[in-house]
Amino acid sequence: MSAKSRNPLFKRFLIWRTKNLSLQQFIMILAAIIGFTSGLAAVVIKNLTHFIQRLLEGELIANYHHAFYFIFPIVGLAITILIIRYGLRNPVGHGIPSTLYAISKKKGLMKPFQMYASLLTAPITVGFGGSVGLEGPTVATGASIGSNISRVFNMNQATRTLLIGCAAAGAMSSIFKAPIAAIVFAIEVFSLDLTLASLLPLLMASVSAILTSYFFFGSDIILPFNLKDSFEIADVPYYILLGVLAGLCSIYFTKTYFWINKQFKKVSSPFHRLLIGGSILGVLLFLIPPLYGEGYNVINNLLQEDYLEALGSSLFNDYLDNFWVIIALLAGLVIFKIVATSLTFNAGGVGGIFAPVLFMGSTMGHCFALFMNHINFLKSPLSVSNFTLVGMAGLMAGVLQAPLTAIFLIAELTHGYELFVPLMITAAISFMITTRFLPHSVYTMELARRGELITHNKDQAVLTLMNLQQIIEKNFVPLRTGMTLGEIVREGVVKSSRNIFPVVDVDNNFIGILLLDDIRPIMFDKKLYDSVKIDELMQAAPEIIDEEKDSPRTIMQKFQETDAWNLPVVRKNKYLGFVSKSKMLTAYRRKLIEVTV
């Protein structure tokens, strides 16, 4: 019996809740609480990061700070690794991908340590200069709180997933003070159903979180900017070009991210990964200081067209009056930000990619507008600040494959919808180009490759959530290679109630199947008992299910293609059991009810 069930006060509360509150009302209350805790998590993570940054930028090292760009990241990554290995003693996932995995394969259950893991590790990673964001860790923290609260109150999987979505909406609402974009983000990224039953809790969580943010941070926002220039219809061709560029940069971002991950997987030692990744990252930050940390200060300075602050304090500081130097530096930020981000992750850091995406998008849009203004003889030059903002939306739509989130976030950050048309144009084009070559986002690529991705497609989502282990049947009698007809009858047919038999060798390697129909005409002819061998009677299975590789969706496709009613299951070619079509359909119906009720 759990501690909560033995607690009389908790039992009295549950009884009171059942009598006085409907389930929907109680979910609304939980959504508000989760929104508040997610907002609080955002405040704690942000303040801890800024506290560490202020310590490192103190008077003692202020005059030598540029040299410390090389040292700080390695120190921060080393501390993060030590905390994970000897403090938490559990791996800390990368924010949103780990949350999506918990939804798809763990029924939305997240371990309690995840409620504070990112609070400890992300501020150290970013505070010491790791080139990643804090949004992912904040979402993961809030999601874990939502998951564990729902577990305390015995919520079903559908409600648990909704409350995790509420945590994501709360985290984003608190960070950006953009409550509508936060709700859209939760729906797009976590594939939540857009119904009144789900929308109201998301709204409650988003409002609760933004009020928490206002209480602690006042009216300060992460990107304080008001539009200075209105949208011009003559700029539409350039926004189309920006959308194409954003799509190409999104593909570059994703491919570079996974390529660097692949290279680091070849290095088995965490210490070696720290040395390699941390050293290269340190060199990059020493040469290109704007890559240090999240980079929101760079974005804000670019919006104000203050290049000395945005790009200064580097080896190229004396050349910022040269237009082509500025263009080259901005292009370098676009190229190397994802490299720095990937190195931070693979060297052992904890963070997210949301801020790097905004950073790359802003520098890309800014660089594009400057370049076009320089080479074109336009009566009215392009608004550099507008293209900086729209560039962020374009890259978000491509990399995160969340175009609606991109549109609403930038619109809310600018306190108006004057850029709505160019935001839609650029985001739509970037999204279409990226999805043409990369069907999944950075968040979902690995899950999709393993067939574990939850999508808005209800059938596919239900199949993803199904557990193969629960539908494997093991009451089949295995037959060995070399058996005679007599042994088949005595050791197989007599002892089994099934009409199909798996055939295995002495090491339990799966060889094939024997159907009762194959031996029915001769099974009562005792003259053949010693002369007929199983090798003459068995046949290959129409398909084989690999327990480690095949997802429920793949299994269903195999049933449809073979028209079989039973298929054998193996692990590393060792026989495990069978899956029947009827049992799989029954499990599908049960799961469908579970996730929709």
Supply the CATH number for residue 515's domain: 3.10.580.10
Share of the chain above pLDDT 90, in %: 35
Same domain (yes/no): 191, 248: no
Q: What is the pLDDT of residue 454?
A: 60
Percent of the chain with pLDDT over 70: 89
Token couple for 286: 């020493």
Residue ending a domain, among 422, 452, 482, is: 452
Residue 1 has pLDDT above 50, yes or no: no
Q: Are 205 and 169 in contact (CB under 8 A)?
A: yes
Question: Residue 56: what residue type?
Answer: L
What is the arithmetic mean of pLDDT over 225-233? 81
What is the token pair recorded at 427? Answer: 């985001």
| 421 and 539 inside one domain | no
Tell me the per-residue pLDDT of 120-133, one tens digit each, with 9 for 90 and over: 899 999 988 889 99
Say yes or no: 61 and 97 in one domain.
yes
Res. 67 pLDDT band, cuts 50 70 90: low
Both 140 and 53 in one domain: the answer is yes
Q: Is residue 247 part of a domain?
A: yes
**Considering the domain boundaries, does residue 402 fall inside one?**
yes
Rounded Cα distance, 358 and 396, in Å: 7
State which residues form the domain around 516.
462-596
Supply the pLDDT for residue 586.
Answer: 79
For the segment 453-475, the average pLDDT, to the nearest whole number, is 66
- What's the DSSP call for residue 509? B
Half-sphere exposure of 55 (CA within 13 A, CB side): 13
Confidence of residue 416 (pLDDT cuts 50, 70, 90): low
- Residue 225 in any domain: the answer is no
**Assigned domain for 224 exists:** no
Q: Which of 38-42, 108-112, 568-572 has the lowest mean pLDDT?
A: 108-112
Predicted confidence (pLDDT) per residue in 26-37, tens digit: 999 999 999 999
Structure tokens at 575: 């026989």
Report the mean per-residue pLDDT for the chain.
85
Q: Residue 562 and residue 564: Cα distance in Å, rounded?
A: 5
- Please state the rounded mean pLDDT for residues 192-205: 81
End residue of a domain, out of 452, 487, 510: 452
Same domain, 306 and 401: yes
75 in any annotated domain: yes
Q: 37 and 13 in one domain?
A: yes
Determine the average pLDDT of the residues in 270-283.
Answer: 91
308 in the same domain as 171: no
Give the Cβ contact number of residue 460 at 10 Å. 17
Pick the range with the lowest mean pLDDT from 179-193, 313-327, 487-501, 573-587. Answer: 313-327
- Per-residue model confidence (pLDDT) at position 60: 46
What is the rounded average pLDDT of the residues 224-253? 90
**Which has the minimum average pLDDT: 26-30, 68-72, 425-429, 495-499?**
68-72
- Stretch 230-254: mean pLDDT: 93
pLDDT average, residue stretch 70-97: 86
The predicted structure's pLDDT at residue 452 = 58
- Same domain for 560 and 500: yes
pLDDT in tens, 431-457: 999 999 998 888 877 776 665 556 545
Predicted confidence at residue 474, as pLDDT, reads 87
503, 414: one domain: no
Task: Establish if 268 belongs to a structural domain.
Answer: yes
**What is the pTM assigned to this prediction?**
0.79
pLDDT at residue 431, as a whole number: 95
**pLDDT value at 367 more than 90:** yes
Same domain, residue pair 425 and 482: no
The pLDDT of residue 8 is above 90? no
In-domain check, residue 56: yes
Please determine, for residue 533, whether its predicted confidence score (pLDDT) is greater than 80. yes
Q: Is the dihedral of CA 291, 293, 299, 301 positive or negative?
A: negative
Mean pLDDT of 581-593: 75
303-311 long-range contacts (CB < 8 A, ≥24 apart) are: 303/223, 303/225, 303/362, 303/385, 303/388, 303/389, 305/384, 305/385
> Can you say whether the dihedral through the CA atoms of 290, 295, 296, 302 is positive or negative?
positive
Please report the pLDDT score of residue 112 as a whole number: 87
Number of folded domains that form the chain: 3
Select from 452, 487, 508 the last residue of a domain: 452
**Are 349 and 404 within one domain?**
yes
From residue 411, alpha-carbon distances to 241, 250, 377 in Å are 20, 21, 29
Q: Are strands 545-546 and 566-571 parallel, antiparallel or unpaired?
A: parallel
Q: Is the pLDDT of residue 473 over 60?
A: yes
Same domain, yes or no: 552 and 420: no
pLDDT band at 518 (very low <50, low <70, confident <90, very high): confident
Q: Give the mean model confidence (pLDDT) for residues 459-480.
A: 75
Q: By mean pLDDT, which of 68-72, 316-320, 341-345 is the weakest? A: 316-320
CATH of the domain at 163: 1.10.3080.10
Residue 227 included in any domain = no
pLDDT greater at residue 315 or residue 135? 135
pLDDT for 313: 66
